Amino acid sequence: MRYYSTRNQGNYTSSAEAIKQGLAPDGGLYVPSSRAVPFKTDNLPAGSYNEIAAAVFKLFLTDFDSADLEKAIAAAYNEANFAHPSITPLRKLSADLFMMELWHGPTCAFKDIALQILPHLLNTAVRITGEQSEIVILTATSGDTGKSALEGFSNVPNTKIIVYFPAGGVSEVQQLQMTTQEGRNVGVAAVHGNFDDTQNGVKEIFNDRRLTGQLAEAGYRLSSANSINWGRLLPQIVYYFAAYHDLVSSGDLRPGDMINFVVPTGNFGNILAGYYARELGLPVNRLICAANSNNVLSDFINTGIYQSRRPLHRTCSPSMDILVSSNLERLLFELTDHQAGVITGWMEQLMKNGEYKLDKGTLTKLQDLFWADYADDRETLQTIADNYREFDYLIDTHTAVARAVLRKYRAREEDGCLSVILSTANPFKFSGSVIRALYDSEMYRGVSELDLLNILSLKTNNPVPPGLAALAGKPVKHKQVIERHNMRDHLLSTLELI
């Protein structure tokens, strides 16, 4: 399987190169250049999580050795890294409603599933391609990717990891998780502005030939741990198959039955993995895209107009506070049957005018498969409370957005399919909002999120996850707050080049 850029089909490259580079040199995203042969419905990948992972990885990383892939999978998905033996267990709330808990990894959010394996894939890619430079992972984060990437890459040999997050744009726990990070090879800085500013700052660094040239001379090569990297996206395809397999094994689903997945969406990585799973033969009825009040994506799916020029709201689901969803570019490339010229045109309009409009044919294809709506903070918090009362089960704010949107879907569409909600964060990671949702919000005003962890634990009789409990005793190591136009200098000084 070869890869090429969404903005230029001329340049074929191997999967190892695509993972090593992260972003294509023309600013596009790497995608598989041909369709993988789909699995047959009566022969979907089965077995343990790791066996399913191996079946999926082998389809896409054809220049990797099977033994290397199996080693990487075993090093990532094990009981030292994940607090549950099934890795992504399902929780049954009712006969037609399941939660897939994607947050049993070290940082309590779903990003761990990809970022626990990405360093192993990247190391293998470096070896396969004979790369001599040291890899510098640059990451923009809306909150969860940063910590997951730091966990995955800290102290990995021949690698540096630098994370930028929007100052004031992440939760207190998320910020502490990053600023207390240990490791010889890590850098963390807050950037004035919002996530889109931070993400654009990183993309500009990638596209700055003079700077990348200077880095190359010094023996460094940039790569990305954001979901613009194919190596981030691929591991996320696996759990869609794992969920289906588990449902069939438990007798909750007949083999071949269609199901819906409901995905709380920001950068469109998680839900895009669901699209690829469907392309590979998984019986998916609808992919339901749930947005918060930054509802660019739900507007887009409902109207075909992507309109990013609007104020960014800081919501209680900060990992979805995004106006420009990078991975949508990959979906559009697929839906237009790989027309790089069309995609480049839309992306240029987005850059210039903050907006583009799909043609009718592409919009129809999009709407056949995706359904979208959004939930604001009030609905989100109400949903956390309702869900707790109804099922005695705590969900975080992001998962609650998905739960609220599924309710809207069911009110409007006739559909008897079983639905799986992708639960993307442990509720303790957003304990401030969860407590506000469940109890008298005035009572806890001004209490720090670290104290709220314990209060939530006592009140709901759930343990604080160990990674979050440990934050209280850790010194803050990374205190820098920089301007967006200083990100280049920050990078150079972190690498001791200025």
Ligand X SMILES: *Cc1c(COP(=O)(O)O)cnc(C)c1O
Mind telling me the catalytic residues?
Answer: 111
39 binds ligand X (CB under 6 A): no
267 binds ligand X (CB under 6 A): yes
Q: Segment contacting ligand X (CB under 6 A): 93-101, 163-171, 260-268, 363-371?
A: 260-268
Closest CA to 263 of 85, 113, 443, 100: 100
Q: Segment contacting ligand X (CB under 6 A): 213-221, 263-271, 350-358, 371-379?
A: 263-271
Q: Which is closer to ligand X, CB of 89 or CB of 266?
A: 266
What is the nearest approach in angstroms of ligand X to the Cβ of residue 323? Answer: 12
What phi, psi does 262 have (nearest 5°)? -115, 120
What is the nearest approach in angstroms of ligand X to the Cβ of residue 260? Answer: 17
152 binds ligand X (CB under 6 A): no
| x-marked contacts with ligand X along 299-338 as a string, rule CB under 6 A | --------------------xx------------------
Q: Which is closer to ligand X, CB of 269 or CB of 467?
A: 269
Q: Segment contacting ligand X (CB under 6 A): 188-196, 216-224, 267-275, 276-284?
A: 267-275
Q: Which is closer to ligand X, CB of 187 or CB of 269?
A: 269
423 binds ligand X (CB under 6 A): no
Q: Which is closer to ligand X, CB of 115 or CB of 418?
A: 115
111 binds ligand X (CB under 6 A): yes
Q: Which is closer to ligand X, CB of 53 or CB of 322?
A: 322
Task: Tell me how many degrees the CA angle 374-380-381 measures, rounded to the nearest 5.
Answer: 165
Q: Which of 109, 115, 331, 405 touches ligand X (CB under 6 A)? A: 109
Q: Which of 270, 380, 383, 433 touches ligand X (CB under 6 A)? A: 270
Give the number of residues in contact with ligand X, rule: CB under 6 A: 16
Q: Segment contacting ligand X (CB under 6 A): 126-134, 261-269, 413-421, 467-475?
A: 261-269
265 binds ligand X (CB under 6 A): yes
179 binds ligand X (CB under 6 A): no
Q: Which of 384, 425, 456, 468 touches ligand X (CB under 6 A)? A: 425
Q: Segment contacting ligand X (CB under 6 A): 258-266, 280-288, 411-419, 460-468?
A: 258-266
| Angle of helix 487-494 versus helix 195-207 axis, rounded to 10 | 60
264 binds ligand X (CB under 6 A): yes
Interface residues toward ligand X, by CB under 6 A: 109, 111, 144, 227, 264-270, 319-320, 398, 424-425
